Every structure is written in C-alpha cells, then in structure tokens.
Chain A
Amino acid sequence: MYILKLLSTSIKSNLQHDLAYRADLIVNLVLSLIGLGSDLFGLSIIYANTNDIGGWGPSELIILLGVWRLVNVLMNMIIWPNTFNFNMSVHDGSLDYTLLLPVNSQLLISTKRIVIWHLFDFVIAIGLIIIGLAHNTGITSPLQIVAFLGLTLSGTTIIYSLWITLISLTFWFTKFGNSIVIMSAVLDAGRYPAHVYPFWLRALMTFVVPVAVATTVPLQALRGELQWWQAIGFLGIGLIAVWLSSRAWIAGLRRYSGASS
C-alpha cells in the first residue's frame, strides 16, 4: 500500500513535470504513431513477399512487435531517463539525498523520473498484443496464454535487472552507466524472432543482453514450443536476476563514497 502511494505520488509529480513541456508531449505522441506506422508498414512489405519469418506468421509477428514495444516502453519510460538521472546524481553528489530517504533506494532510483507520455506507447503495445492474440489460431490451451504473460513479465524483469546491475557497476567503474547504449542497440534486434539471426547474434541476444528471453521466449510459449520445465526455468531465471541485481546494488552502495564537497 505504502509503495503504491509512493508510486502514485511519483507518477503525479512526473506528470506535472511532463505537462510543463506541452510541445514535447505532442511531438512525442506524433513520433510514437509514426513509429507504429513504420513498424506495421515494414511487416506488411515482408509478408507481401513471404508467408512466414522463421516459421512465424503475421499474427505472431504482431504479438512479438507488441512484446518488443513493451520492453521499449520500459527502456524509454524508466531506464533511459533514470540512467541519465543516476549518472548526473553520482556526478553532482545528489545521490546522497536519495540514499538518505527511508525507502528502498533501488526503487527510488528506478522511479525518480518516469516519462509519463510513454504510457501511450504502453497502450499501443498492449493493443498490438491483443490484436495479434485475437487473430492467432494456433493457441490450443489457456495455459499457453498464461505462460506467455508470465514469461513476458519475467523477461521484462530480466532486462530491468540487467540495467540495475549495469548501473551498480558505476560504483566500481566510473561512467559504466553509459553501457546502457550497447544494451539498447542489442534490444533493437528483438523485434524479430531470435532464430532468424546468425548464431553469434542469437547468443548475444540470449546470454549477454537477454532480449530474446524477453521477446522470443514468451512467443515460443504461446506457440506451444516450450516444455513446462523450460517455462519454469525461465521464470526462475527472472527471479534469480532480480535477486542478483539487488545484491549488486547493495554491494555498490557499500563502495559509494559520494562526490566530494
């Protein structure tokens, strides 16, 4: 309850921040629609020339696009703005104040800046997933949908945990937070099924920046291609990632020496 109240206050405060820049809000909404149009146009061109991509049909690619956009909402709404905030706060010492608040500091640095207008992208992503699911005829069991939703949540959590781990490394290696740029570049590949890529890129997408775990794996569950133990395994990896990232954050804080006065 307390966390929800805190989040709602933070969202309100961020909304007030975003509303102060009206032109930005309108431009970004237009850009979101252009991005959606461009993605759908790209898919329509591909499917005009072939019946499937790596064995996946148009409805599955639309769901994949929705899941990939969901991961991007996490990136653009929370990870990017808070990476910038975090790097600045380490540099100018204002992280000191965040660490002295009687709230989990990882939660605070993750939610200090939430770019609210990306909720529009969130709605688009959910819309794509619903439209794709409605047109998908290959789903034979409700469990497939449950596994899909669970693995989407777990995959997104793994991406978030990777981010927390990367910014925690800033406490050892100055400016390590900038490695988010690499993470973001690899994430771009997640809009297509991982198995269409060469082995080295597939390995990169699975083990280094696990975007494939966040996008392709849930779709595999939806297609009934995952054994139950594989699905449980991926969910377990999500939990381990959360635990490891929080350990990295706590270890980083012990090393924190603050900016000099």
Chain B
Amino acid sequence: MQVVNKSLERPTPSAGTDPIVVEGLSKTYQVTDREGGFGAAMRSFVKRKFRDVKAVQNVSFRIGTGEIVGFLGPNGAGKTTTLKMLSGLLHPTSGTARVLGFTPWERNSGYLRAMTLVMGQRNRLSWDIPAADSFLLNQAIYRISDADYKRTFDELNELLELAPIIRKPVRNLSLGERMKCELAASLLHRPSVLFLDEPTIGLDISAQVRIRAFIKEYNRRSGATIVLTSHYMADVTALCERIIIIHHGQLKYDGKLADLSRRIAPFKLISVTLGECSDCDLTPYGTVVPSESNEASAKHSVQVKADEVATITARMLAELPVIDLTIEDPPIEDVIERAFHE
C-alpha cells in the first residue's frame, strides 16, 4: 500500500494528554431471572425476579495518541459494553471516562464528530440504496465541505478500492465489500478516535488481510487512536503492540503483547523431526505436546521452560537422530486463553 498524500494527517495533541482516560468504570445491568418451563413463566409474570449482571467492574486504563490497542476477552467479558460506554451509547453505573477531553455519554456533538464506532455485526448503511448515497447523507450530517469530502473519499477509495462497489445497492454487496463501505462511511468525517468492534468478523482470509492493512495504514497516515476488539488473533498480532485483556468484566492484563507471552507462558515449543528411531523417548526433555498430524509422523513437539531451551536443545541434538529442529513461541491463542483464566 503506497502512501501518495498526507491529507488524513492531523496535528498531534500536546504531550501528556492521553486521548482516552478511563478510571474505575463499571456497568451493571439488571436482567430478569427465571427458570424454564410454563410454571416458572407464570410465576415470573406475577412476581418478577431480577438479577444484577456486572458487565464491567472497576476498569481503568489510559491510551495514548496514535496507539492501536487490542481489547481482548472471551464472549461476554465486557468488551463491547466498555466500547459502548466509551463511544457514548451507554451510561456507566459508576466511574469516569474522558475521551478527547469529553465525557462520552454526554454525547456532545463535538465528541461525536471526532470519534467513530464500527461494529462488524451491525449495519450502518441503508440496505436498499447504494453506499454512495449513504455517504452523501453522512456528508450532510457531519457538515463535511465538498472539498474535504472529495479529498477524504478519494483517499479512502485509494485504500479500499471503493469505486466499483459504491454504486450497487448495499444489499447486493458481499460481506467483505459491505465492510469496506461500512469502514468508509465511518471515516468520512476523519475521526481521531476509532472504536472497532470485531471489524473482520465473518470475512474470508483475503478480506481480513485487506481490512487489517487498511486499519494499519489509516493509523499511520492519520495518527488516529484505535481500540480494536477481535476474536481473530491474526488481527491482534498484525495490528496491536499493546493489548488489554478483560474477563468477567475485570481487567486482567494491560501491556505489550510480547510481554504477555513471557509472563503468562514462560515456555517455548521445540519441534523436532527425527530420523530412524522407533524407541526414542522425548519425555526426559520436557512435556510432549500431542501432535495434530498422524501418529506415524516423525515430527514431535516438546514444551520446555524458556530458560532451559539452550541446554535441552543441545542435549536433543547430541542424543537423538535429529533431522530438523525449530524453536517457537507458544501459539498466541493459547497464551491469551491462559491469560483469561489466570
């Protein structure tokens, strides 16, 4: 992706003013609670029982200008609720948040003009009309001048290759094409804070790659601050140096992705392909990881402590008929899965 102009660039806010500052944010929903069955339904009709669900509990973090932060957690962890509070859709039960100096849930129009929320599972565009017409409606809503609109559209068109698809009714677009249009519609007003809630969900691999590349390039050109949730670890590893992990509404980890591996999973995987060796036993070297390939395969993996890798590798090379040997970090999915439950 080639950079041809700089029109998305914004002045950098003064040092020390983080665009996103969250302090002790909590959100509790009250939900009706009843058992299944007709009797329970009748009882619930007469006397309704309610239960508090603590979706987000006392979460605090700061995000600096231009950062792309992965906001991770299993389903129901509180990611979307947090994003909805930060974008202004939900009022918190307690706590404070300042985004670009605004309190989000006051929905100040200055704030709404400076941020965007993209939800991979929701449609922003009108179904029956071409995306180009929805773009024009957004131009009127965000009061974008014709010159700015043209400049931004041209740039988004260059990055997302929109021209062939924006004249078709949205209902006739593929999922990937629709997501490109959704992203463009969300960015026409050049927001400086982006909340992206699973922007690649349901897309095929090549569409995921294109959307990832676009997000990275948009961030590079505009210096926008981006908070991203995704269940695809490829999104996270490609885009986010820093991640925040939330589980059961509580903040579990806030730091560099690379540091998480060292902290949560201080081990490495040594994969070896062995020559003729029918009775080779790998258990003295570490924990043997079950192979996903067929049992007859000569490739085996052993999990060892990170600080013993050099010694054990030397022993394996000396004691076993090794044809090939690689040392890998554990899969990021495993590391994050462990972080959820730690």
Contact = CB atoms under 8 A, between A and B. Distances in A.
Interface string B29-51: 10000000000000000000000
Interface in B117-169: 117, 119, 121-124, 126, 128-129, 133-134, 136-137, 139-143, 169
A100 B129 contact: no
B67 interface: no
A17 B80 CA distance: 32
B107 A96 contact: no
A123 to B, nearest CB: 25
Given A100-B112, A261-B197, A13 B121 contact: no
Given A6-B141, A261-B80, A100 B88 contact: yes
B133 A16 contact: yes
Given A100-B117, A101-B112, A13 B126 contact: yes
A99 B104 CA distance: 12
7 contacts: A13-B134, A93-B121, A102-B109, A257-B29, A258-B89, A260-B80, A261-B80
A99 B87 CA distance: 10
Nearest to B116: A100
Contacts of B113: 102
Contacts, number: 74
User: What are the 7 A-B residue pairs with the smallest beta carbon separation, nearest first?
Assistant: A102-B112, A102-B109, A9-B140, A261-B80, A97-B124, A102-B113, A6-B140
B228 to A, nearest CB: 14
Interface in A1-30: 2, 5-6, 9-10, 13, 16-17, 20
Interface residues of B, number: 35
A92 interface: yes
A16 B129 contact: yes
Contact of B91 (A16, A103, A254): A254
Interface string A185-228: 00000000000000000000000000000000000000000000
A13 B121 CA distance: 24
Nearest to B121: A261
Nearest to A104: B109
